[in-house]
A and B are shown apart, each in its own frame.
Chain A
Amino acid sequence: MTVIDSRKTPLTFDSIAPGVGLAAALKLSRSDLIATVAASNLRGRGGAGFPTATKWNLAAAAKVSEGECKFVVCNADEGEPGTFKDRVLLTEYAPLVFEGMTIAARAIGATRGILYLRGEYVYLRPPLDAELARLRRAGALGRNIGALAGFDFDIEIRMGAGAYVCGEETALIESLEGQRGEPRNRPPFPVDTGFRDQPTVVNNVETLATVTAIFANGPEAFRALGSERSAGFKLFSVSGDCDAPGVYEFPLGLTLRELLEKVGGTNAKAVQVGGASGVCVPAKAFDRRLAFEDVATGGSIIVFGPHRDMLAVAKNFMEFFREESCGQCTPCREGNHKLLEGILMLERGECSTAYLRELCLLGETMQLASKCGLGQSSPNAFLSIVEHFPEEVLGRSFAAAGGER
Chain B
Amino acid sequence: MLVGSQQKLQDDIRALVERHGRTRDALLPILQDLQAAQSCVPDFAMQVVADELGLHPAEVYGVVSFYAFLDHRPRGRFVMRLCRTISCELARTAPVARQLENELGIAFGETTRDGRFTLEWAACLGLCDQGPALLVNDRVYTKVTPDRVHAIVEDCRKVFGAHAAQPSAPSAPVHPAAHPQPALAAAKG
Do chains A and B directly touch (beta carbons under 8 Å) in the complex? yes
B70 at the interface (CB under 8 A from A): yes
B128 at the interface (CB under 8 A from A): yes
The interface residues of chain A lying within 8 Å CB-to-CB of B111 are none
B138 at the interface (CB under 8 A from A): yes
Within 8 A of A (CB), among B46-82: 53, 62-63, 66-70, 81
Most buried by B among A5, A126, A326: A126
The residue from B24, B53, B90, B122 contacting A308, defined by CB atoms under 8 A apart: B90
A163 at the interface (CB under 8 A from B): yes
* B177:A125 contact, CB within 8 angstroms: yes
Chain A residue total in the interface (Cβ 8 A): 60
The interface residues of chain A lying within 8 Å CB-to-CB of B68 are 119, 161-163
* B139:A123 contact, CB within 8 angstroms: yes
B1 at the interface (CB under 8 A from A): no
Number of A-B contacts (CB under 8 A): 155
Q: Mark B9-37, 1 if CB is under 8 A from A, else 0.
A: 00000000000000111111101100000
A317 at the interface (CB under 8 A from B): yes
A245 at the interface (CB under 8 A from B): yes
Complex CA distance for A122 and B53, rounded to whole angstroms? 25
The interface residues of chain A lying within 8 Å CB-to-CB of B27 are 178
Nearest CB in chain B: distance from A378 CB, A:
13
Nearest CB in chain B: distance from A275 CB, A:
8
Contact flag A164-B123 (CB < 8 Å), given A316-B86, A320-B85: yes
Stretch from A61-69, A81-89, A215-223, A391-399 contacting the other chain: A81-89
* B70:A177 contact, CB within 8 angstroms: no
* B122:A6 contact, CB within 8 angstroms: no
Complex CA distance for A3 and B130, rounded to whole angstroms? 13
Contact flag A316-B67 (CB < 8 Å), given A6-B130, A122-B176, A196-B25: no
A78 at the interface (CB under 8 A from B): yes
The residue from B32, B66, B176 contacting A180, defined by CB atoms under 8 A apart: B66
The interface residues of chain B lying within 8 Å CB-to-CB of A344 are none
* A2:B185 contact, CB within 8 angstroms: yes
Contact flag A240-B87 (CB < 8 Å), given A120-B122, A302-B128: yes
Contact flag A159-B32 (CB < 8 Å), given A120-B125, A181-B66, A302-B86: yes
* A4:B184 contact, CB within 8 angstroms: yes
A46 at the interface (CB under 8 A from B): no
* B67:A181 contact, CB within 8 angstroms: yes
* B90:A241 contact, CB within 8 angstroms: yes
The residue from B32, B126, B128, B176 contacting A121, defined by CB atoms under 8 A apart: B126
The interface residues of chain A lying within 8 Å CB-to-CB of B70 are 161-162
* A239:B69 contact, CB within 8 angstroms: no
The interface residues of chain B lying within 8 Å CB-to-CB of A308 are 90
Nearest CB in chain B: distance from A7 CB, A:
10
Nearest CB in chain A: distance from B98 CB, A:
17
Most buried by A among B27, B85, B181: B85
The interface residues of chain B lying within 8 Å CB-to-CB of A237 are 128-129
Within 8 A of A (CB), among B79-113: 81, 84-87, 89-90
The residue from B90, B124, B138, B181 contacting A83, defined by CB atoms under 8 A apart: B124
Which chain A residue lies CB-closest to B183?
A1
* A317:B123 contact, CB within 8 angstroms: no
Nearest CB in chain A: distance from B50 CB, A:
11
A288 at the interface (CB under 8 A from B): no
The interface residues of chain A lying within 8 Å CB-to-CB of B28 are 158-159, 161, 175-176, 178
Nearest CB in chain A: distance from B177 CB, A:
7
The interface residues of chain A lying within 8 Å CB-to-CB of B63 are 178-180
The interface residues of chain B lying within 8 Å CB-to-CB of A239 are 87, 90, 128-129, 131
The interface residues of chain A lying within 8 Å CB-to-CB of B53 are 178
The residue from A83, A158, A272 contacting B29, defined by CB atoms under 8 A apart: A158
* B129:A6 contact, CB within 8 angstroms: yes
Name the 7 nearest CB pairs between A and B, nearest first. Answer: A162-B68, A178-B27, A161-B67, A239-B128, A245-B129, A162-B69, A239-B87
Q: List 28 A-B contacts (CB under 8 A).
A: A2-B183, A2-B187, A3-B184, A81-B85, A81-B86, A81-B87, A84-B128, A119-B69, A123-B184, A158-B28, A161-B68, A176-B28, A178-B28, A178-B63, A179-B24, A181-B66, A181-B67, A237-B128, A240-B87, A247-B129, A276-B86, A302-B87, A302-B128, A313-B86, A316-B84, A316-B85, A317-B86, A320-B123
Residues on A lying within 8 angstroms of B by beta carbon are: 1-6, 78-84, 86-87, 118-123, 125-126, 129, 158-164, 175-181, 196, 237-241, 245-247, 272, 276, 302, 304, 308, 313, 316-317, 319-320, 323-324, 326
**Given A125-B176, A302-B86, 8 further pairs, Cβ under 8 A:** A4-B140, A78-B126, A80-B124, A119-B68, A161-B32, A161-B70, A178-B53, A240-B128
